[in-house]
Structure 1
Amino acid sequence: MSPTPQSGETNGQVLPFRESLLAMLGVAFVVMLVALDQTVVGTALPTVVAELQGFEYYAWVATAYLLTSVITVPIFGRLGDYYGRKPFVLASIVVFLVASALCGMAPSMPFLVLARALQGIGGGMLVGTAFACIADLFPDSHVRLRWQVMLSAAFGIANAVGPSLGGVLTEWYGWRAVFYVNLPVGVLGLWFAWRYLPHLRQQAHSGPIRVDWLGALLIAAGLGCMQLSVELLPERGFDAYTGGLLVLAAAALVALWHWEKRCANPILPVEMFRNPGLGPLFQLSVFAGFTMFALLLYAPLLFQGGFGYSPKEAGLLITPLVVCITVGSIVNGRIVTRIRHPNAMLYAGFGMLAVACLGLTQATRGMPHGLLVAIMLVGGLGLGFIMPNLTVFAQQTAGREHLGIATAMLQSLRMVGGMVGTAIVGTLVTRSYTAGVDHALAAANASRWAARMADPQVLIDKAAQAVLLGQLGQAGHNGALLLEQARMSLVTAIHLGLLAAAAAAALGVWRARQVPPVKLVRTAAPAMAAD
């Protein structure tokens, strides 16, 4: 049984402190479940591919998850507005755990890809509903910002321990353990959510509701084709296939826009995008996702492949970035409710992100580690200033009727920004690196080695390097010099990609000017229907 909310509480929350804490523990566990899975799996992927023999499916292990989660986030965000969020939180944990078990038992790569797609459905349901639960529990934005620190801490812990945990589990217990580790975390989250998370529903939706399934289908088609196109863009370039997918995505999204304007109960209310307060926040979420994913994906490659650092050294440099997202969120909660212009935190966050990306474009192998750590700290604090404020500002602007879908759209658009950023930065890095390597090999009359050096992974894998150096030496080439030139090409390529990320963050600073002044007013808990 869920505890009965104490309606009209003057402290800005619908439950007493103890019940609020236990309910938030449940939400924090399910958020950690998704974050931990995303960070742990990446470490194990090379071992998975080596055992299951399916390198052509390598990218699809991540793509299948992203594809289904991006689609389901806005769908279940809206359904949570209609039916309450608790049923979807519980269902999403069950789906995620079943899919995790199937991933761990996968006998082949195609099976693993399908299981990851199912896992993405559960992850999308979680993201689409869990974040909106906080606004249900804490209507007062001041109180909500303080409690959101728990979610930031859950993300920070998962991001900090995920890569190392993935490596340890893979080395000691095999790659299947990285999926099974979700089970105890998920069971804890399921128990806390079932026992303590109240089933809150808005009284206005007491009658039967017609679900906009055509809108959901068009969302799936539009975002699905977009995801596929940006995943294939770095590898294939802009050809007929990727161009056709983009055309299909645009057609589906245009049809969605026109349909939702006529639909009685739209799953994606188009008036949100016309809202002068929400529109800029949605755009800022795209810019934040673009920059965040570029940093998280290409800073490690810069340190390991470009500078030749060990995974341990690179991990120590990346850790301040992910940990300071939590620190920045905590600091933000202390500051934003005490200043006259809360919007200033968005300027500060995007400005710090731009500075971090620009700092990395100037990074060299000889740069002191302390300075690199400082750059990572600035980037992490910037993200900590941005993400909680986007959520709270959007929830306050959208109102209770559209609270769930507005929160879900922020999360979904951040992933879309990450997709687009990964495609653009990935294309810049791949093309620039390949051009640099081809030029160096051609000058040394060693162009036949281009295919072997086209993947920058060779600059990280010491065993592959040793084999390649031996073969180059037998052929009469200076292998060490060619590898060093490849490293220089990779550093230049990543600098170019991070410059694009810095431009996205600078656009965020400029676009933040369009966000109307937000006032974080104190509010009492409204009357809510509860089971």
Structure 2
Amino acid sequence: MAVHRGAHHSSGQVLPFRESLLAMLGVSFVTMLVALDQTVVGTALPTIVSELRGFELYAWVATSYLLTSVITVPIFGRLGDYYGRKPFVIASIVVFTGASALCGAANSMLFLVIARGLQGIGGGMLVGTAFACIPDLFPDSVVRLRWQVLISSAFGIANAVGPSLGGFLTQYYGWRSVFYVNLPVGLISLVFVWRYLPHLRQVAHKARMRLDWPGALLIALALGSTQLFVELLPRYGVSLSTAALLVVAAAAAWALWQWERRTPQAILPVDMFRNPSLNALFTLAVLGGFSMFSLLFYAPLLFQGGFGMSPKEAGLVITPLVVFITIGSIANGRIVSRIRNPNIMLYIGFTMLAAACLAVVVATHTTPRPLLMALMIVGGLGLGFVMPNLTVFAQQTAGREHLGIATALLQSLRMIGGMIGTALTGTMVTHLYKSGVRSALDADHATHWLPQLADPQILINRDAQSTLLGELTHAGHNGALLLESAREALVGAIHMGIAVAAVIALVSIWQTRRVPHISLNRKIEPVIHAD
């Protein structure tokens, strides 16, 4: 192994320009793989649920992916710190792409949820290792921000084509094609990473690393129990089973904290949480993930099921949200290194996100499409100002030895926030929608039609709507009025869910004051080349 110093470090990077460019293209394709999957699937999800018939598992298509990702991100973030990240990036591409093929072959919602869980393992490996490759390649934070334009561009391409592509593929080739689109992207990613990404290690470890399996199991138990509790509480209220889940989650979290304090090679270094700067950034990652994922997953359902748009129309309206996350990230990279107080970008970002969520809450089916797209632009820019800065600030604060686990923890905590957000919003939407439909049916003395209208998929499936309208008319009911009442119930339910996301974004503005002043210094440290 050789240590890279001198000329390359003078420009803040460990490789010459050409090698840096090819390596970053490899990482960019990897991030495009994850981004494309998230945006394409989000738009297609209402149609998937409509065909596979299982709205009660709607939230689990997202949360099963998030849950397994959350568990695997810190594990592989830690392993990458010790053994280098390249082998895990390669393995993650293989797992993620294979799981995408399984998702496309799903014949039931349960199969899809399980396949998405496997996909989440690959996604967690990707997030835990690929994002930490960037500070490996560019130790200088200012140089790193410039090179991150490539990553932002990769996200931009995926996010620009993702929602529209998801709508187009769903409408003309069926929802299964939205998973199969990952296969060629995965193959390109694999070729670039295999050939061009160097095998870098931050620290030379004399002793063989022992993975903290008890810590990993306790993380899985704590997060899994929390997820089930969040899912079941709105449906069953305070019962013996939900109380037991809460107790298990609390006990596992306490045991995890105690165990990690005593373990020499802890998967979750608790001393990082004692750092006030990192602690504040981790808190903001959870809050930001809550608002972001709630908006990303439930805006398409609002536009299709609530406002009556086709998948293609909904894809076009949601596109500015994900595209302007990228544009905001690129603009942020140009701004944040030139201003005296980089923290100000967090205030601006969370304010824009809160404004976008609040505006969506008051939007109706008569709101002009250009105005809806403008709201998505504001939300996207806000997220673009927040997410890259949380990552760079955490990397700057954590130090070289904990770089991988700090990056992984930030991504993991953002997904925990997303998991809680999608689960809470999903259960709230399900509960409020059924309650609204039941009230409308009671008023028309048509309660026995509840099973046909209790699942919002009826508001997306045009063929099923026509059949139900005929049956309701034949039975002497005003079918069009009942369907419209169901649509209004869905809009009201999603509005309530996104209102919670708006409140969380407002709380984030207040929490940002806890982040100490961050200075983007140009400190360079040696990196060990393992090839």
User: What is the TM-score with the length of structure 1 in the denominator?
Assistant: 0.92
1:471 Cα deviation (Å)?
1.8
Letter in 2 for 1:190: L
Q: Which residue of 2 aligns with 1:430?
A: 430
1:465 partnered with 2:465: yes
In the TM superposition, what is the alpha-carbon distance from 1:295 to its structure 2 partner? 0.9
Give 1:389 shift. 0.2
Q: 1:33 to 1:249 in 2, by over 3 A?
A: same
Q: 2:326 maps to which residue?
A: 326
Q: What does residue 215 of structure 1 align with?
A: 215
Equivalent AA in structure 1 for residue 40 of structure 2: V
Using a 3 Å threshold, how does the CA distance of structure 1 residues 114 and 3 change in structure 2: closer, same or farther?
Answer: farther
Q: Could you tell me which amino acid in structure 2 is paired with residue 440 of structure 1?
A: A
Q: Percent identity?
A: 70
2:353–2:378 Cα contact (<8 Å) kept:
yes
Aligned-pair CA distance for 1:122: 1.6
Provide the residue aligned with 1:141 in structure 2.
141
Give the deviation of 1:238 after TM superposition. Answer: 4.8
Q: Deviations over 1:34-53 (max 9, x none)?
A: 22233334566677778889
Q: CA deviation at 1:379?
A: 0.2
Confirm whether residue 96 of structure 1 aligns to residue 81 of structure 2.
no
Structure 2 residue identity aligned to 1:272:
M
Q: Distance in 2 between matches of 1:60 and 1:162?
A: 21
2:368 corresponding residue in structure 1:
368
Report the number of matched residues: 530
Q: Secondary structure at the match of 1:528?
A: strand
Rounded Cα–Cα distance in structure 2 between residues aligned with 1:22 and 1:4 = 20
Per-residue deviation at 1:78?
Answer: 1.0
Aligned to 2:225: 225
Q: Residue 438 and residue 367 in structure 1: after superposition, are their counterparts in 2 closer, same or farther (change >3 A)? A: same
Post-superposition CA distance 1:335-378 (Å, at most 9, x none)? 11111100000000000011011111221222222222221110
Give the Cα separation in 1 of the matches to 2:313 and 2:358: 21
Moved more, 2-11 or 385-394: 2-11
> Who is 2:78 aligned against?
78
1:102-181 matches, cutoff 5 A: 102-104=102-104, 113-169=113-169, 177-181=177-181
Deviation string, structure 1 residues 252-299 (Cα, Å, up to 9, x no partner): 121110001011111110011111010111110111111111111222
SS at match of 1:308: coil
SS at match of 1:118: helix
Worse overlay, 13-22 or 169-178? 169-178
Measure the CA separation in 2 of the matches of 1:447 and 1:106. 33
Q: Which residue of structure 2 lines up, in the alignment, with residue 196 of structure 1? A: 196
Are residues 394 and 167 of structure 1, via their aligned partners in 2, closer, same or farther at CA, if it must alter by over 3 Å? same
Instruction: Describe how 1:384-423 pairs up with structure 2 within 5 A.
Output: 384-423=384-423
Aligned equivalents of 1:525, 1:24: Cα separation in 2 = 20
Once the two structures are TM-superposed, the CA of residue 232 in structure 1 deviates from its matched residue by 4.2
CA distance in 2, matches of 1:486, 1:182: 35
Where do 5+ consecutive residues of structure 1 fail to align? none
Partner in structure 1 of residue 269 of structure 2: 269
Who is 1:19 aligned against? Answer: 19
Distance verdict in 2 for CA 1:237–1:320, change over 3 Å: farther
Compared CA separation, residues 338 and 216, structure 1 to 2 (3 A): same
In the superposition, relative to structure 1, how do residues 232 and 34 fare at CA in structure 2: closer, same or farther (>3 Å)? farther
CA 1:296/1:481 → structure 2, altered by over 3 Å: closer, same or farther? Answer: same
The DSSP-based 3-state class of the residue aligned with 2:402 is helix
Q: 1:233 to 1:17 in 2, by over 3 A?
A: farther
Contact 2:272 2:279 in 1 (8 A): yes
Match of 2:482 in 1: 482
Cα deviation code 1:74-105 (max 9, x no counterpart): 11111111111112112212222333344456
> How far is 1:118 from its partner?
3.0
Output one character per residue of 1:236-263: Cα deviation in whole Å (capped at 9) or x when no partner: 5554334333322221121110001011
Shift in Å, 1:144: 1.3
Structure-2 change in CA distance of 1:442 and 1:61 (3 Å): closer
Structure 1 counterpart of 2:226, which letter? M
CA contact (8 A) 1:203 1:529 kept: no
Query: What SS does the aligned partner of 1:340 have?
Result: coil
Q: Displacement of 1:134 after TM fit?
A: 0.6
> CA 1:411 to 1:441, structure 2 compared with 1: closer, same or farther past 3 Å?
same
Instruction: Work out whether residues 353 and 502 of structure 1, in 8 Å CA contact, stay in contact via their aligned partners in 2.
Output: yes
Distance of aligned partners of 1:317 and 1:237 in 2 relative to their CA distance in 1, 3 Å threshold: farther
The change in CA–CA distance for 1:47 and 1:388 in structure 2 (over 3 A counts) is: closer
Cα-Cα RMSD = 2.7
| Contact 1:231–1:419 (CA under 8 A) maintained in structure 2 | no
Q: 1:292 to 1:53 in 2, by over 3 A?
A: closer
CA contact (8 A) 2:163 2:318 kept: no
Within 2, Cα distance between the matches of 1:217 and 1:309? 43
Does the Cα contact within 8 Å between 2:211 and 2:265 map onto a contact in 1? yes
1:511 and 2:511 correspond = yes
Deviations 1:202-225 (A, max 9, x none): 344243223222112211222222
- Kept in 2, the 8 Å contact 1:65–1:116? The answer is yes
User: Alpha-carbon deviation of 1:28?
Assistant: 1.1
TM-score, length basis structure 2: 0.92
Tell me the CA shift for residue 173 of structure 1: 5.7
1:498 corresponds to: 498
The alpha carbon displacement at 1:439 in A equals 1.8
**2:350 aligned residue:** 350
Please give the alpha-carbon distance, in whole angstroms, between the structure 2 residues aligned to 1:210 and 1:514: 35
Q: Would the alpha carbon gap of residues 336 and 60 (structure 1) be closer, same or farther in structure 2, given more than 3 Å must change?
A: closer
Deviations 1:124-152 (A, max 9, x none): 11110111111111111111112222222
- Contact 2:166/2:315 (8 A) holds in 1: no
**Judging changes above 3 Å, is the alpha-carbon distance between structure 1 residues 56 and 426 closer, same or farther for their aligned structure 2 residues?**
closer
Give the superposition deviation at 1:428. 2.7
Farther-moved stretch of structure 1 (236-245 vs 321-330): 236-245
The whole-number CA distance in structure 1 between the counterparts of 2:475 and 2:110 is 39
Query: In 2, distance between residues paired with 1:311 and 1:318?
Result: 10
Q: Over residues 150-209 of structure 1, what are the superposed CA-to-partner deviations in whole Å (9 max), with x where a residue is unaligned?
A: 222222322332344345555666655444432322222122112221111134424322
Does the 8 A contact of 1:29 with 1:189 survive in 2?
yes
CA–CA distance in structure 2, aligned partners of residues 55 and 368 of structure 1: 29
Q: Tell me if structure 1 keeps the 8 A contact 2:163–2:316.
A: no
**Letter of the aligned partner of 1:283 in structure 2?**
T
1:345 counterpart letter in structure 2: M
What code does the residue aligned with 2:340 have? Answer: R
The alignment partner of 1:280 has SS state of helix
Give CA-to-partner distance per residue, 1:468-498, whole Å, 9 cap, x none.
Answer: 2222212222222222222222222222222
1:529 Cα deviation from its structure 2 partner: 4.1
Are the structure 2 counterparts of residues 167 and 233 from structure 1 closer, same or farther at C-alpha, using a change threshold of 3 Å?
Answer: farther
How does 1:295-334 map onto structure 2 within 5 Å?
295-334=295-334
Name the counterpart of 2:338.
Answer: 338
User: Is the alpha carbon distance of 1:218 and 1:138 closer, same or farther for their aligned partners in structure 2, counting shifts above 3 Å?
Assistant: same
Q: Deviations over 1:405-445 (max 9, x none)?
A: 11111111111111111122223323222222222221222
